[in-house]
Structure 1
């Protein structure tokens, strides 16, 4: 896209953040390969580098699609728009200076962690809703060190041109983020969750915290996956949907849970089968009742409803499906097997809660009953240590 090409040549912030070519002639320093909790190798040679001169220390971070940026100072403030990057930064205990808006922003996850605070009163908003037509003047007023947002999404939501993006990068701060929720513009996400998380660790120079997260998450997922009672040919089928599940709409947006996309990550961790396996996925093209009846999944998965739908509202949706003339014929609906996960805003913190919630919804006999709310899971039935997560978030590693 035009954004990706143009952004590579954008000057950066207040003489302290400079383009790659200005300092390193466009080349990166050698690094070493590592492996993320997603199982995907990462290569430090294309993500970070540091150089020291007599008077200056600086480091590089590459986050596609924007590309490479060089930092002389560690960013202290950031703004985010809908996606995983706020939760990623909160994994290091770094609260945003500004967010797109507070509608659907799932702050309850931070409330559920001992010692973790989110001061909403200290956070500015960039617009009236999560997908606002943003005003550039607001970005000037907020004046953050870095914008944790995919430049393609900022352009899509704001209606800006490439010159507007260059202006903000030149006079305010770099735009570094990457949509990992699902494919965008015909291509899969550049990064898995933990690859993006590692990028943020490099950006904020929080590598020890990141490594603590890796240890905790690998242990958590290994425990979950080892206890899943049904897998392989015996695994239940799940029809997962983006943008909610509205029984009366007749339009349902199927999500490929087998893809590397971040919003279906919880389903992969629970080793379920994709009810739409082999089907052609066309983003934003809905399927109807007939197709749902054809695949007749064991479970229906509402991506994101764990984050911004409370249990009372969710039960209303389940009941609406059960009372629906057509949907009531589905096995999943008849058996009350409609489940929900974290979805859109899912970074490392929400990932833990989402996986725990889905495990309990699918297999209560193994993992304990799902009470309907993350706050109501009894301490002796919690699948990960909230106290330890809070300690890592606060830097007590």
Structure 2
């Protein structure tokens, strides 16, 4: 690990490093005895690119959260109450609870949370929140927000609270130029390990990671041979266009599809951004067996309405997935560990019903469907006990 840089901070208890250029960070790495070399037995460091080594002198009680994966991670670690902000809270929070409804004693109170991205991220906003930690990639700030410089990022880390996040790990996109030499990409579960280190909840992380490994192993060992796997398009229907995402490429946005090894119907279609736009002609050329409608389980989309729109469209009605009633509600790309477990189970059943049991379908606005215990791909009670500390 690199050298920890510390800053004098009179107003806040948390001390963060700035950007440690060229650091070879390990997700969730905590140094030595957790003292961080400061002589304070309660302090500890967490290492992650591009932030470098970040030092805390206590577990965060107020967390600035943007994308849903970090809120889901906080809930999974027993720290959901620390979340004070959330991107699109009504959509994100209600979707999280659709999954949590199947876990005894687990819920997330999102009412009253503000969307920190609604009017862009500003230093004034972050000073007003006075958060103990910002679960947001500083590279995201530099690449998407006007009037931010690396010096502003370091100012917030010094005077308010540290940054922890890796936005570009979603599809392994290019980071801001300032971090080109220090950026590293993480899987969803490596990101979760880092957040667990921030909250000092290593045991909860390990226990949930064991559930995930069991689920993934079960799925991978029961997949049919390659020629028996369907062609799949992972898209969101817009106005005359499909917003498209690949299935099997690197990045945690594909955490619920890549392990399933289906054939990406749009594998040969390229785009330069984090997602692409394809027209009906391209979709007809690809003609997928299954359409996974991303965001379909959120309150923003009515999957029955999506099917109806496709059925009533001259080109859409010709798609095999539409004709064979295999347009299904998919989850969120901003998924944390609990969501990932459910979304893996959901997608496995949608793509391979003979191997993993029939998907019962999803009714828009409802909770994640009830699945008989014998057909569940992971143990709900085991997960609930880990999260609640039972």
**Partner of residue 191 from structure 1, selected from 177, 186, 189:** 186
Distance 1:10 1:167, change over 3 A: farther
Distance 1:156 1:340, change over 3 A: farther
**Partner of residue 78 from structure 1, selected from 63, 83, 86:** 63
Corresponding residue of 1:302: 293
Q: Bigger shift: 195-204 or 339-348?
A: 339-348
Does 2:108 match 1:115? no
Aligned pair count? 363
Q: Bigger shift: 341-350 or 374-383?
A: 374-383
Does 2:322 match 1:333? yes
SS of corresponding position for 1:239: strand
Q: Distance in 2 between matches of 1:369 and 1:181?
A: 27
Unaligned 5+ runs, structure 2: none
TM-score by length of 2: 0.82
Corresponding residue of 2:91: 104
Does 2:166 match 1:166? no
Distance 1:101 1:266, change over 3 A: closer
Distance 1:255 1:101, change over 3 A: closer
CA offsets 1:112-152 (integer angstroms, 9 cap, x no match): 3211132234x53144xx54324544333322210111123
Distance 1:329 1:170, change over 3 A: same
Distance 1:261 1:304, change over 3 A: farther
Does 2:334 match 1:378? no
Does 2:215 match 1:233? no
Corresponding residue of 1:270: 260
CA offsets 1:32-81 (integer angstroms, 9 cap, x no match): xxxxxxxxxx957x933135469413322122233321222222221111
Corresponding residue of 1:34: none
Unaligned 5+ runs, structure 1: 1-7, 30-41
SS of corresponding position for 2:272: coil
CA offsets 1:156-201 (integer angstroms, 9 cap, x no match): 5553412443332222111211113323337997111111111112
Does 2:128 match 1:133? no
Two-structure CA RMSD over aligned residues (Å): 3.1
Does 2:76 match 1:91? yes
Does 2:197 match 1:207? no
**Partner of residue 45 from structure 2, selected from 60, 72, 76:** 60
Does 2:308 match 1:319? yes
Distance 1:26 1:378, change over 3 A: closer
Contact 1:293 / 1:329 at 8 angstroms: preserved in 2? yes
CA offsets 1:297-323 (integer angstroms, 9 cap, x no match): 11122223224456xx10110121112
Q: Shift of residue 293 of structure 1?
A: 1.5
Q: Distance in 2 between matches of 1:336 and 1:17?
A: 53
**Partner of residue 241 from structure 2, selected from 228, 251, 258:** 251
Q: Shift of residue 345 of structure 1?
A: 2.3
Distance 1:268 1:280, change over 3 A: same
Does 2:389 match 1:389? no
Does 2:344 match 1:355? yes
TM-score by length of 1: 0.81
Contact 2:350 / 2:359 at 8 angstroms: preserved in 1? yes
CA offsets 1:258-284 (integer angstroms, 9 cap, x no match): 112222222222221111234433224
Distance 1:189 1:343, change over 3 A: farther
Contact 2:297 / 2:362 at 8 angstroms: preserved in 1? no
Q: Shift of residue 226 of structure 1?
A: 2.9
SS of corresponding position for 2:154: helix
Contact 1:12 / 1:173 at 8 angstroms: preserved in 2? no
